[in-house]
């Protein structure tokens, strides 16, 4: 196939084909109203001249951008550090691009706040937003609702106006982990959890306590400690827990990184895992498959979550204005040696 000079406007192709710009436009958008022969001829010309059209002009003319924004709050260290975000971001970007949408990455930090993002969203005509790390006290969230920007929250369940969400079964995962531990004979459980304003943590708390209640044994003692997630917190938590009288025989962590710290510190204190203490994590990072002992954990369906977020957003954009129902995806509880009965 010979390549001629790359053409830069629709009119050049039109001139070459001996038709008008409108016809070329119809061909490029696969719209009806062009004879098969002309269509083929134009397609060949487009191919030959490596012509791609100009997205900017198209946007201006159609009044929409076919692009969506992802907002990442860099000032929230939990987010930047959290091992699941790269994969989630990748999944969202993947799904968006497959649907013909471009992804614009917005980051907020200590100085550049939500106003800046909203300005860009308006100026750039971003069609919709995906917020992978919102919490109930998020300033952006309120503004997005007011501005009626179609938005999908990931990992935070809050619905209002043009805002819907996709999340996974954090509650069921913790319910299952907790129940399994109880059936395995554990009687003094501690949950190391993140702050409840992030609904993922809140749900895990719920599942944990519901499992305790449902088990219905008075001799069971349970406790929840809210802390930052991370290795250091795990270490600190163990130190604190074992300085007390009532020492847990099971520690459930809302992050594998925290669990790693817990495992390490239990080792130092001479506590056997899972003999003396069972430990579970959340996230299924690579480490957890290889730690000593291998860590029981929960895998979130990150790829499907990203895809679902995009699909929900597209529904809102192309649909008839109704905000679609939230979507809940299934987590997978992974049993390894660290919590063996």
Partner DNA sequence: CTGTTAGCGCCTTCAG
Partner DNA sequence: CTGAAGGCGCTAACAG
The binding track of 42-81 with respect to DNA, each residue x by CB under 7 A or -, is -----------xx--xx-xxxx------------------
The region of 26-34, 202-210, 307-315, 332-340 touching DNA under the rule CB under 7 A is 26-34
Task: Name the minimum Å distance from CB 290 to a copy of itself.
Answer: 5
- Does residue 231 belong to the site contacting a copy of itself (CB under 8 A)? yes
The region of 19-27, 101-109, 275-283, 301-309 touching DNA under the rule CB under 7 A is 19-27
Smaller CB distance to DNA: residue 57 or 160?
57
Cβ-count burial of 25 within 10 angstroms (0-12 exposed, 13-18 middle, 19+ buried)?
Answer: middle
Q: What number of chain residues touch a copy of itself (CB under 8 A)?
A: 56
Task: Name the minimum Å distance from CB 117 to a copy of itself.
Answer: 9
- Does residue 282 belong to the site contacting a copy of itself (CB under 8 A)? no
Smaller CB distance to DNA: residue 111 or 318?
318
Site for a copy of itself in 124-183 (CB under 8 A): 124-125
Task: Name the minimum Å distance from CB 184 to a copy of itself.
Answer: 25
- Does residue 98 belong to the site contacting a copy of itself (CB under 8 A)? yes
- Does residue 10 belong to the site contacting DNA (CB under 7 A)? yes
Pairing mode, if any, of strands 188-193 and 221-226? parallel
Smaller CB distance to DNA: residue 29 or 97?
29
Phi and psi angles of residue 152, each rounded to the nearest 5 degrees, phi first: -120, 125
- Does residue 112 belong to the site contacting a copy of itself (CB under 8 A)? yes
- Does residue 6 belong to the site contacting DNA (CB under 7 A)? no
- Does residue 105 belong to the site contacting a copy of itself (CB under 8 A)? yes
Residue with tokens 């269509």: 39
Rule CB under 7 A: choose which of 37, 100, 216, 270 binds DNA.
37
Binding site for a copy of itself (CB under 8 A): 52-57, 59-60, 65, 67, 70, 72, 74, 80-81, 83, 85-87, 89-90, 93-94, 97-98, 102-107, 109, 112, 116, 119-120, 122-125, 230-232, 235, 257, 260-261, 264, 267-268, 286-287, 289-292
């Amino acid at each position: 196939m010979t390549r001629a000079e790359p053409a830069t406007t629709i009119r050049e192709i039109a001139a070459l084909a001996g038709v008008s710009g409108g016809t070329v436009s119809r061909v490029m958008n696969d719209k009806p109203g062009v004879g098969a022969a002309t269509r083929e001829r134009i397609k060949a010309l487009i191919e030959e001249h490596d012509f791609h059209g100009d997205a900017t002009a198209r946007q201006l003319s159609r009044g929409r951008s076919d692009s969506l924004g992802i907002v990442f709050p860099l000032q929230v260290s939990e987010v930047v550090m959290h091992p699941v975000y790269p994969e989630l971001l990748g999944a969202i970007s993947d799904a968006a691009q497959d649907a013909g949408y471009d992804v614009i990455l917005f980051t907020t930090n200590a100085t550049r706040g939500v106003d800046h993002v909203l300005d860009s969203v308006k100026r750039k005509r971003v069609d919709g937003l995906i917020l992978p790390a919102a919490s109930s006290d998020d300033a952006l969230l309120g503004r997005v609702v007011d501005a009626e920007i179609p938005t999908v929250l990931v990992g935070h369940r809050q619905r209002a106006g043009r805002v819907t969400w996709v999340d996974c079964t954090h509650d069921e995962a913790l319910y299952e982990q907790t129940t399994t531990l109880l059936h395995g004979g554990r009687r003094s459980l501690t949950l190391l959890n993140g702050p409840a304003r992030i609904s993922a943590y809140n749900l895990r708390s719920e599942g944990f306590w519901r499992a305790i209640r449902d088990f219905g044994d008075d001799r069971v003692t349970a406790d929840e400690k809210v802390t930052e997630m991370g290795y250091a917190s795990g270490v600190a938590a163990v130190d604190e827990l074992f300085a007390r009288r009532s020492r847990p025989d099971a520690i459930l962590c809302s992050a594998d990184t925290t669990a790693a710290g817990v495992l390490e510190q239990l080792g130092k204190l001479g506590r056997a895992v899972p003999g003396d203490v069972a430990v579970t994590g959340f996230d299924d990072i690579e480490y957890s498959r290889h730690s000593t002992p291998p860590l029981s954990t929960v895998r979130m369906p990150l790829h499907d979550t990203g895809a679902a977020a995009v699909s929900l957003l597209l529904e809102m954009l192309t649909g008839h204005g109704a905000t679609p129902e939230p979507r809940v995806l299934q987590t997978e509880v992974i049993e390894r040696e660290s919590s063996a009965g």
